[in-house]
Structure 1
């Protein structure tokens, strides 16, 4: 049986890795729904959703080689880092996915009122 690795854990969410599967546990199902929708719209490779059973989302690990590990020197080539940077730039340049709830235009402007 593969080892269970805690990737991140805090009061809102925990992510575990078991072999080539990431398990994201989130009490806010809406946040998970937005994440899955955003991954489907992303212009870069994203993990395959293996299954969802709230509050758990199971994702496949992306194929490839890790560029590095926290606290260890990277052995990845400069070309690999450049390719990762290009993918990140493509993602950041893409339009934001739709977000549930009121749009920015629907939120009333706050005006300051001075006393007296």
Structure 2
């Protein structure tokens, strides 16, 4: 039986295990957060079409909406996504129905990777 003096502090293996777990979650966070930030930027772009249309640059057709989003992506440093691949737009009455549907893949360690799926629908009034 060990005395209290011999049981003080964490062991080397315990400390290494905690550092490994913290390091793994830090690595996952560093790889995944940029994809979520890109998705938030795309959401802002889509919702911003309503404001842009009211301020004087009319976005009144589906082609004009696609053009607006296509020009806005590089301004938000999103260069690896193509508008035609990530969203479908339909005009219903005085609003656009935007269906955002795409996946992002990233490797973690060797042959282990993560796939994130973004699937949202937005309604944007433009008139």
TM-score when normalising by structure 2? 0.24
> Higher relative CO (CA 8 A, sep ≥ 6), structure 1 or 2?
2
Structure with greater helix percent: 2
Larger radius of gyration: 2
* TM-score where L is the length of structure 1: 0.25
